[in-house]
Amino acid sequence: MNKTKIRATEQPIAVDIEGLSARLSCGRATARKIGEQAGAKIVIGRRVLYSIEKVKKYLLYLEE
């Protein structure tokens, strides 16, 4: 299986669990929990991505 290339983008639409945990400044388990509670989980085959926009909306909702 080929390794996924890391591409630098300024504003990605979706990120993997490592990118999400880096953006949230928390661990992988916490980032996964937030992503699933936000309904941001996107599954494509075996790859799991999380929608940045949905996570942002969810965090703003929690802030209120």
Domain ranges of the chain: 14-63
Three-class SS string for the chain? CCCCCCCCCCCCCEECHHHHHHHHCCCHHHHHHHHHHCCCEEEECCEEEEEHHHHHHHHHHHHC
The predicted structure's pLDDT at residue 11: 87
**What's the token pair of residue 56?**
């942002």
Report residue 61's pLDDT band, with 50, 70 and 90 as the boundaries. Answer: very high
The predicted structure's pLDDT at residue 56: 97
- Cα–Cα dist 38/32, whole Å: 10
Report residue 5's pLDDT band, with 50, 70 and 90 as the boundaries. Answer: confident
Higher pLDDT, 7 or 22: 22
- pLDDT tens for each residue of 11-58: 899 999 999 999 999 999 999 999 999 999 999 999 999 999 999 999
Among candidate residues 8, 6, 29, 28, the one with its CA nearest the CA of residue 18? 28
